[in-house]
Structure 1
């Protein structure tokens, strides 16, 4: 039995239309926006002249207060865990030696990092992580009346997006409550204590500022490395504006190609950017990646060369190549194996990240708290567990999702599509005799079963008409971790994101209109 109320409360068509109007105008007035999809055959214009409201929900979606508090409270443990993974070269090498033969992207990232890591350990030992741990509520198999539990979908170590828009969604729902009382259709919708106080924009920007300050030159800049034709530009720009307004930190945003054209590394490994409009060079203190997580960002070796050039510099990276590798799905699966998490958190031989995660500072309860949020994870290799996983995937595919080592969504194989996909990989292996089976590039994950019967009114980006949808909501918790070298360590939770989508869709994707940016109504 789900603890969540039937949702949404009844609203007349006139009330829905009024909410949609107020939500859209609020979004447009406050930068809760995306660039529109360009006409077929055209690109996103260099100088934007039009925007659309981001996909949104008219009402916040009910979410159990204890589950929300739990997800936020364990974020610092997750920060500590993945910071430690990124410092443990032997651990990463042990995983990547099996992933690299079947995943060209991970192989390139790993090999490039290995070639320079002794150098960068001296050049810039400080690392900054802007993380997001994503969860779904799970209730399958719970006892009657038992509350839904959070189960982790994945842990993002690079380009964790929507921090700015998430704060704006929370502010929009609170505004609608204060302005309309949601027409008194439900007492929780005009109870201020039911709405979350979310400062993800401010908290993430503060983390970037802390990374910048650790570099030690207030005249330097933050370099945002971005994708060409980025539609989610306002989420990123809001961070830039916040950095300048609150922290007096200037930013420059460039694609890999522009960095290659304008950047250079001097003899002291300081990275400089030519700024021809100002007639000066800018020193880069911090590199913040909102690109570089997908093979599409590396069209040739030139992009990889630029990534390595930045990695070799004295600039602090967010994330480093090691921290990006730590976010691989295979790492998530290996950590779930018996004893591995405990050894990583509690083992005295593991690297000390310095913020309450050194030897003796974490205990078995901390490891148990993390394991409580995990669902079943299996390898797809030739081990006994891997063989068992292949059998499970073929005999009971409805229970599973197949995940590659990718970020950004749209890459997973679900349920009934799994057996024919595994058969396809097996057929392709016949042309690769003596090489590792291609299925080893994937992990098998037990599907999380969200509560049923929750609906909401969703509005697609650029459209004004709400649609009633049977929904699934995914909660993301942001984290900031600054560590390494002689820096004063930072480890904290940094706000939340709720993405809500129709139950009919397995994949998310705010920019393409599948998911809406939402906020929790704590119940």
Structure 2
């Protein structure tokens, strides 16, 4: 533990019987009382249950935690500047990449081109971002796994799981024999619910309208299981900022909204209220678009006067290939000219390779086939479940045409140290198994094609997963929400 600033925290020693009879009811009832919840698959609306979570906070070095937080506003600035597309840099790259994923990246790109032809009426864009990191066990540096520009989740539940662990500690539930707090180290609580809501509220304030109030439309998936995480932001928006929300699926846009042909202003049909901002918690996967009308609805939103969080260019900036290109210093310098700032960002980079016909690409192709155990193969697409790991890489590459390899990037696997003593609670089960933890840092940035108006850090998230599972999506059933105890 050489690079951490303190001693690695011990875990409480509580018997399996006491966990079952005392702590499980505490966790479950606190979670349901406070909205640390999720729907199970194939639910009806009365079936909310505790979100998969850990019993204890996971130890995390303070220095590494602060390192990840310290670069978030730089990442916000970088991706906002890319999305401004002032010299066509992003357009050129996405135009080239679109052919390798015609079913999704290609369709989003064509939507953007259509929107440009029809006319994009709203220059303002809101980026609600999350940068995800794994802790490298050798250097204790937080290394970036990916940068998410659309539908970033768990800002709501992250606040709650930190509150849960802090409550259990401060009320002595981890020290059943003394009733005193077990951890003397800090268990921080993420302000992500409040800070992400602030970002939405500032965008709404900047929206020009003659109306006395407007609505925020949460664009959600049909049958969304992670609804309580989203609702936390909705309720915060109303309680703190008096901004009302409506929930719509992409399919419902054509049915439940109307657009003024002259002004392009978007209205909620049932009440006639204007929608100032569309917040996408869907639209990051081809499964969200079930028919041609859904794609048309996305295009209507892009050309509407409502602010998009994110707009299409900002969503497209999040493809993995862009992440890979940005690790090249000459490219990064175009957007972040300050040497110190670039150096700070570079400490979080991991080695990423193209699989194209460049010299680096040819080298990467050889490595992917000869030593796949060191790598993960990532497609451009957002969302868990699309990556190919280790020994599966050569099998997969040989199954597709080599010209399609360019649609993927090869990423060196980060080697985190599993946490072996935490306990994962999933439904009625509690499992003591080695877990790996991924730290997500939230940020938001409000910008148009010329300037950045706000650029803010917005809290954090810890997700943990079984160290035998390569994918970490909580809603997808692979992982759980967690919090940190800093040392």
TM-score normalised by length of structure 1: 0.87
Q: Which residue of structure 2 lines up, in the alignment, with residue 299 of structure 1?
A: 290
* Aligned partner (choices 37, 60, 65) of residue 62 of structure 2: 65
Check if 1:172 corresponds to 2:164.
yes
Q: Which residue of structure 1 lines up, in the alignment, with residue 30 of structure 2?
A: 26
Aligned-residue offset at 1:382: 1.4
Contact kept? 1:273, 1:283, Cα under 8 Å = yes
Check if 1:260 corresponds to 2:254.
yes
Contact kept? 2:162, 2:189, Cα under 8 Å = yes
Check if 1:439 corresponds to 2:405.
yes
Counterparts in 2 of 1:196-215, with a 5 A limit?
196-215=188-207
Q: Which residue of structure 2 lines up, in the alignment, with residue 456 of structure 1?
A: 422
Secondary structure at 1:410's aligned position in 2? coil
| 1:290-338 Cα distance to aligned partner (Å, 9 max, x none) | 0000011112221111111011111100000010011010100111124
Check if 1:108 corresponds to 2:107.
yes
Contact kept? 1:188, 1:194, Cα under 8 Å = no
Contact kept? 1:10, 1:185, Cα under 8 Å = no
How far apart are the structure 2 equivalents of 1:138 and 1:72?
Answer: 16
Counterparts in 2 of 1:345-384, with a 5 A limit?
345-346=336-337, 363-384=338-359
Q: Which residue of structure 1 lines up, in the alignment, with residue 48 of structure 2?
A: 51
Aligned-residue offset at 1:486: 8.8
Secondary structure at 2:432's aligned position in 1? strand
Secondary structure at 2:461's aligned position in 1? strand
The number of residue pairs the alignment matches comes to 478
How far apart are the structure 2 equivalents of 1:486 and 1:399?
Answer: 41
Contact kept? 1:27, 1:53, Cα under 8 Å = yes
| 1:116-156 Cα distance to aligned partner (Å, 9 max, x none) | 237655x21111010000000012xx3xxxx5111000000
* Aligned partner (choices 316, 320, 331) of residue 329 of structure 1: 320
User: Which ranges of structure 1 fall in alignment gaps of 5 or more residues?
Assistant: 39-43, 347-362, 430-436
How far apart are the structure 1 equivalents of 2:119 and 2:178?
Answer: 56
Aligned-residue offset at 1:8: 3.2
Contact kept? 1:311, 1:317, Cα under 8 Å = yes
Query: Cα–Cα, structure 1 residues 56 and 189, in superposed 2: closer, same or farther, change >3 Å?
Result: farther
Aligned-residue offset at 1:344: 1.8
Aligned-residue offset at 1:9: 3.9
* Aligned partner (choices 438, 446, 464) of residue 482 of structure 1: 446
Aligned-residue offset at 1:445: 0.3
Aligned-residue offset at 1:485: 6.6
User: Which ranges of structure 2 fall in alignment gaps of 5 or more residues?
Assistant: none
* Aligned partner (choices 417, 439, 462) of residue 498 of structure 1: 462
How far apart are the structure 2 equivalents of 1:485 and 1:415?
Answer: 40
How far apart are the structure 2 equivalents of 1:222 and 1:293?
Answer: 19
Check if 1:395 corresponds to 2:395.
no
TM-score normalised by length of structure 2: 0.94
